Amino acid sequence: MAKCFNCGREYEGNFCPDCGTENPKASEMPSVSETSQQNYSAPPPPPQRYTPPPVYNNVVVNNNNVTSVGGWIGWIFLISLLPLIGIIIMLCCTHDESAKNFAKAQLFFMLLGVGIVVLIFVLAAVIGAASSY
């Protein structure tokens, strides 16, 4: 570890990554790779200009494509309250493809359940009608 005498930053290596000032201790130290250091005449590494990606982009992407935990809680609550209507609302309103597919799958099972119930009623009616005659 060396401390830059110019800006005071602690760093490793021969040059300060912030201001590019050469570390005087590094040149004093007896180095095994002395020839490679002499050949190294490139300018010090430029100061790091890492700027984190804008956060609002991620938020927009999340809002458009991924249903958040709160969103799922809302959808599940709606579906529990209004089974068929809730699923249709979810299918129409969500922008999340996987949530849309989930609503379609729920709708499939709901229609399957309705179909089975209707089938049972029809069978019961037919059996009841057959046994009464």
- Residue 7: CB minimum distance to Zn ion, A: 3
Both tokens of 12, joined, read: 């490793």
- Residue 21: CB minimum distance to Zn ion, A: 5
Give me the 12-51 binding string for Zn ion, x by CB under 5 A, dash otherwise. Answer: ----x-xx-x------------------------------
**Closer residue to Zn ion in complex, CB, 6/62:** 6
Task: Give ∠ CA 44-25-20 in degrees, rounded to 5.
Answer: 20
**Closer residue to Zn ion in complex, CB, 23/67:** 23
Binding-site size, Zn ion (CB under 5 A): 8
**Closer residue to Zn ion in complex, CB, 15/100:** 15
Q: Burial letters for 101-129: b for 16+ Cβ neighbours within 10 Å, e otherwise?
A: ebbeebbeeeeeeeeeeeeeeeeeeeeee
Task: Give ∠ CA 20-23-26 in degrees, rounded to 5.
Answer: 140
CA–CA dist 55, 29 (Å, integer): 44
Contact residues: Zn ion, CB under 5 A: 4, 6-7, 9, 16, 18-19, 21
